[in-house]
Amino acid sequence: MAALGKVFLIGAGPGAQDLITLRGARLLAQADVVLHDALVTPEMLELCPQALKIPVGKRCGQLSTAQAFINKQLVDNAHKFPLVVRLKGGDPMLFGRADEELRALEEAGIAVEVVPGITTALAAASATKQPLTKRGVARSVAFFTSSTAPDHDGHTAIPDTDTLVQYMGGREAIATAQRLLDQGRRAETPVVVIENCSRPDQRIFRLTIETLARGLGAAHGPVLVMLGDAMHQRAHQAPDSDATECERRLSA
């Protein structure tokens, strides 16, 4: 049976509806069916009122849709509909399992295209006004997750760069902070944690590696952690609106 449709892997960005690209929004408005991640907001789905919406979410520690099932859904829907969208949080090509989905579609002979989105690290840097690189301070950045390939000790390998950005941080970032201390990183190295980046309930935490190693408190949404000297606040930088509450919560 010949494939009739085309699949677009579209990055929804960090969450806010108006941070999706114009191209992504245009394709959503034309889509026949949209298979979307759990972190895609209801406001984002308002951009495709005409489409059949299929949730295929994956959340750490929660019941998730198997990747093989998602792959099959993409192939099956491409045989039924002309325009199929796979809507992913952030950017499809960074921690988005795009490789598995691209392979499944290519093996089935289905046309596929990728539309990039704003990955959360860049959105977080903008939201906190903290550049990930800084002249004379930080010239290298690494993005990693707790599921990155382990090192010879069985731990998640921590990249050796000036600025570290840990996706899906949460409790895993506490272990990262302790390992960095054990490896000789300065205890006062600044850390910026952002929860629910770009959303109305966004929270920003500013602390140090030493403080982070003692705990992060309860998080109610996706968390991204940025560590390194580039995270020092500028002398005249305005404070975050929720900084006081966050500091109290972290030190409790």
Instruction: Spot the catalytic one: 18, 32, 37, 129.
Output: 37
Strand 83-88, strand 6-11: pairing? parallel
**Contact at 8 Å (CB) between 140 and 159?**
no
- Catalytic, 58? Answer yes
Instruction: Spot the catalytic one: 58, 88, 91, 240.
Output: 58
- Catalytic, 6? Answer no
Long-range pairs for 217-222: beta carbons < 8 A, 24 or more residues apart: 217/249, 217/250, 217/252, 219/170, 219/195, 220/195, 220/196, 221/195, 221/196, 222/39, 222/89, 222/120, 222/168, 222/195, 222/196, 222/197
Which residues are designated catalytic? 37, 58
